[in-house]
Structure formats: structure tokens, C-alpha cells
Amino acid sequence: MMRTEQQQASRPWNYMPAEVEDLGIKARVRMVLHKLSPLTPQDACGRLIWAVVEQAVRDLAWNAVVADEAKRYLRGPLWHASLVGIDPEYVRRVIRQVGIEL
């Protein structure tokens, strides 16, 4: 069982408060990172692997070229997330939840 199944909120995956619609990309990225932060692995190796996913999320707020590369990675298999036991689809769902299109 993946950890995300235990930690998912009771709200539907597409829930987005009205306040989120007015936020810029940097604020949305911070929201995604905050939502995913409880999933950070406890061991050093796991944290290093998970940092790849976190950096891809941060890159969404950079210029168009970097953001496009990050989107391409996040649309892919996200094996870094799978490797540390986090459901890649959950990561993508959280990103979509704050209104970031992949």
C-alpha cells in the first residue's frame, strides 16, 4: 500500500478553493510542495531521490523552457516517486488540484 492512500484528503481530487484561482504560479508551487511535504521519506537516500521530484515542481515556476522540461518530467513515469513508495498519480493530482496544467 502506498503512503498516499493513507494521507489523501477527504475532498475530491479536483477540489480547488476560489482563493486559489487568483494566485500566481509561485504561490501554487509552494502549495504543492506544502501538500507533498508530509510524504518526504525519513532516510537520507529517500530524501535525495524525492528531491528530484520536488525540484521538478519548483521548476514549474521558472521560465518557459525550464517549466516545459519540468512538465515533461512530471507527465512521465515519475520513477523517483515510485522508488520511494509515493504514487506518481497522486503527485500529478496535487499539482492539478492547485490549477497547474501539466
Give me Rg for the CA atoms of the chain.
Answer: 13
Domain assignment present for residue 3? The answer is no
Contact 35, 94 (CB under 8 A): yes
25 in helix, strand or coil?
helix
Is the residue at 60 inside a domain? yes
44: in domain: yes
Helix (H, G, I), strand (E, B) or coil at 65: helix
Q: Which domain holds residue 72?
A: 14-97
Per-residue pLDDT band at 82 (split at 50, 70, 90): very high
Judge whether 102 lies within some domain.
no
pLDDT of residue 1: 45
pTM of the prediction?
Answer: 0.79
Predicted confidence (pLDDT) at residue 71 exceeds the cutoff of 50:
yes
8 belongs to a structural domain: no
Q: Is 56 inside a domain boundary?
A: yes
Domains held by the chain: number: 1
How far is the C-alpha of 56 from the C-alpha of 33, rounded, in Å? 11
